[in-house]
Amino acid sequence: MLVLGIETSCDETAAAVVGPTGILSDVVYTQEVHAAYGGVVPELAARAHQERLAPTVRAALEQAGIERPDAVVATAGPGLVGALLVGWSFGRALAAGWGVPFRSVHHLEGHLLSPLLEPDPPEPPFLALVVSGGHTALYRCDGLGRYVTLGQTLDDAAGEVYDKVARVLGLGWPGGPYVDRAAAAGDPSAVAFPRPLPGELDFSFSGLKTAVLQHVQRPGRASDADVCASFQAAVVECLVTRVRQAARGTGIDQIAVAGGVAANSALRSALSSTDLRVHLPPRSRCTDNGAMIASAGRLHLLAEDPPPPLGVRSGWPL
């Protein structure tokens, strides 16, 4: 079954074709219009999706060498409602026109299952750490559609804090890759930032964010590189500590990592040096993409699972 997947939940206009042999095409257009505002502007995102979606879908079909897929799936949430509506309605209309099935996909499930697209995929039960701009959570995946939330952030998402730190340092947007790069030249022990670990397996990043923002306003503060490296060391330590605890508590040693922050070099190397079996998608498939949506939708279509209710949703628990 060849499935066209469409993703427009935030600021990436993405389309991909996934089939039995894996990814046939994966086209991602990252909207640049938001950089000037230092954050995603929902109205501009929806308009940019409208402009870019048709050429992006056409490119995905062309690169896959097909004229018509066997099914169409699209992200229905969580995300920005206006942005979601563009991709979801377009996907639904395409499916109706072609006379093929259509299915809504949960954005976080797309991220969570994205390591299954790689060689040597994790096998349920496995742990999954989803760290993105909007979400930071740790799950136990017992099978397709069977996810138990073990812990999640009580306040800010990890990616959101990366973006805020980059903004106060004037590094650019989205901030994660800039902080990641700046950190490479810094000393991770230059500033002793807090490593908040709230109850159970939850996360909390707002105290760390405040500590960084206060530090950079102080006279005689550390260099940007040292601030970035020290901040990143704190984030990575919190994430890796929780992953280890979850592995100990559940007795599961396979961990799939996904979401934009999974592209972070320090997180990747810290996880890789644990004794866990770590499944990390390549960097380009950690951030939002169509392949993860096509793949998650395809798995549910093949399983003939009952479809989620029609419509898009800004909030949608996994």
The residue ranges that bind ligand KG4 (CB under 6 A) are 10, 132-134, 159, 162-163, 174-177, 180, 259-261, 263-264, 287-288
The CA-CA-CA angle for residues 43, 49, 117, to 5°, reads 125
Selection from Zn ion, ligand KG4, none that 126 binds (CB < 5 to 8 A by kind) is: none
Nearer Cβ to ligand KG4 (30/250): 30
Owner of token pair 């670990």:
197
Question: What is the rounded CA–CA span in Å between residue 117 and residue 113?
Answer: 8
268, 235 in Cβ contact below 8 A?
A: no
Question: What is the rounded CA–CA span in Å between residue 188 and residue 227?
Answer: 8
Q: Taking CB under 5 A as the rule, does residue 114 contact Zn ion?
A: no
Subset of 215-244 contacting Zn ion (CB under 5 A): none
Subset of 270-309 contacting Zn ion (CB under 5 A): 288
Nearer Cβ to ligand KG4 (254/287): 287
- Closest to 13 (Cα-Cα) out of 91, 66, 71: 91
- Closest to 94 (Cα-Cα) out of 204, 215, 216, 6: 6
61, 5 in Cβ contact below 8 A?
A: no
Nearer Cβ to ligand KG4 (115/134): 134
CB of 73 to ligand KG4, least distance (A): 17
**DSSP per-residue string spanning 219-248:** TTPPPHHHHHHHHHHHHHHHHHHHHHHHHH
Instruction: Please choose, out of 82-90, 126-134, 247-255, 304-312, the segment that lies near Zn ion by the rule CB under 5 A.
Output: 126-134
Nearer Cβ to Zn ion (25/132): 132
CB of 133 to ligand KG4, least distance (A): 3
* Interface pick for Zn ion out of 75, 132, 204, 295 (rule CB under 5 A): 132
Question: What is the rounded CA–CA span in Å between residue 119 and residue 261?
Answer: 21
Nearer Cβ to Zn ion (130/266): 130
Instruction: Please choose, out of 128-136, 145-153, 178-186, 275-283, the segment that lies near Zn ion by the rule CB under 5 A.
Output: 128-136
Task: Give residues in contact with Zn ion (CB under 5 A).
Answer: 132, 288
